[in-house]
Amino acid sequence: MENEIIQWIYQAAEKIKAALNDELVIDEKNGRTDLVTNVDKETQDFLVDKIRTYDPDAHILGEENGQDQTDISNGRVFVIDPIDGTMNFVLQKENFCIMIAVFEEGIGQLGFIYDVMRDDLFWGGPKLGKVFHNRKELPKPANTKLADGLIGMGVSLVTGENKFHTKEIGREAMGVRILGCAGLDFIAILKGTQNGYISRLSPWDYAAGIVMMQQFDMAFSGFQDQPLSFNGREFFKGGTQAVMSEITEYDI
Ligand code: IPD
Ligand code: CA
Ligand code: CA
């Protein structure tokens, strides 16, 4: 299955790169900072079509095209974020990812995060017992503390009120990074170039990332340590075991 998914991702990426030179059709979803383009929708349709041909019984949980309400816990579910970091895609034409995760009976089995413009694919999970960076196995990052690394934050946590102790957490860390693309934050955690990430995310933003974090025995949860709901946008925290226990002391 993983080889098919990798092929679909590479093919989808070629289409996205070709579309970078075309005029985009841009719509607002919930206000002027929440965008969707024709390329997001077309990419999801392309991936859904591939999945339906490969496994007609599979369910789809995808950000676009009204496929965002699927229950994660029944059967095989493909979770799709066709372009993660749409704002970066529109304004920077880089720093965006394609993300796919495969869950079976609610258990994450495979995750794929592809940084399209850097041609960098991170993939793996419990089904393979490994995580890969392109064709090379990725080593598990060190269990570093907040004070010894960089923490990623979702932009809304930084520009909004200090409800989640983001200021205190940011001051304790070596620095804060705001990448505008959850996929890139998860890549940084898997590589060990960031040791934590706090944000407000939807299931397709975190599905692929947590499957690979799980493989590395890293920790993640919702607000006040409850499991992620896979149902709508929610507070997300994740990182090394050390960072997660420190963040929890801030009572988030
Ligand atoms: C967004 C990005 C962003 C995160 C938002 C997501 P989208 O995804 O991952 O970094 O802060 O919460 O919605 O909408 O560009 O797929
Ligand atoms: Ca996303
Ligand atoms: Ca998206």
Q: What is the pLDDT of residue 250?
A: 80
Q: What is the pLDDT of residue 224?
A: 83
Smallest Cα–Cα separation from 179: which of 197, 195, 203, 167?
Answer: 197
Averaged over 19-47, what is the pLDDT? 91
Instruction: Using the atom order of ligand 1, give the atom closest to the CA of residue 34.
Output: 14
Residue 251 has pLDDT above 70, yes or no: no
Averaged over 96-125, what is the pLDDT? 98
Residue 159 has pLDDT above 90, yes or no: no
Question: What residues does each domain of the chain span?
Answer: 2-137, 146-248
Ligand number nearest to the C-alpha of 63: 3
Smallest Cα–Cα separation from 222: which of 235, 211, 238, 232?
Answer: 235
Smallest Cα–Cα separation from 207: which of 105, 115, 101?
Answer: 101
Ligand number nearest to the C-alpha of 205: 2
Domain 2-137, architecture per CATH: 2-Layer Sandwich (3.30)
Distance (angstroms) between ligand 2 centre and the Cα of 81 equals 6
Q: How many Å apart are CA 241 and CA 216, to the nearest integer?
A: 10
Q: Please state which CATH number belongs to domain 146-248.
A: 3.40.190.80
Q: What is the pLDDT of residue 252?
A: 55
Distance (angstroms) between ligand 3 centre and the Cα of 163 equals 25
Distance (angstroms) between ligand 1 centre and the Cα of 201 equals 7
Q: How many Å apart are CA 117 and CA 125, to the nearest integer?
A: 23
Q: What is the pLDDT of residue 95?
A: 98
Work out the pLDDT band at 34, boundaries 50, 70, 90. Answer: confident
Q: What is the pLDDT of residue 177?
A: 97
Mean residue pLDDT across the chain: 95
Instruction: Using the atom order of ligand 1, give the atom closest to the CA of residue 182.
Output: 9
Q: What is the pLDDT of residue 145?
A: 97
Averaged over 195-207, what is the pLDDT? 97
Mutate to test the pocket of ligand 1, among 205, 235, 236 (most ligand atoms within 8 A of CB): 205
Instruction: Using the atom order of ligand 1, give the atom closest to the CA of residue 200.
Output: 12
- Residues 151 and 237 sit within 8 Å (Cβ to Cβ): no
Distance (angstroms) between ligand 3 centre and the Cα of 164 equals 24
Lowest mean pLDDT among 10-14, 37-41, 80-84, 162-166: 162-166
Q: What is the pLDDT of residue 161?
A: 73
Averaged over 8-34, what is the pLDDT? 92
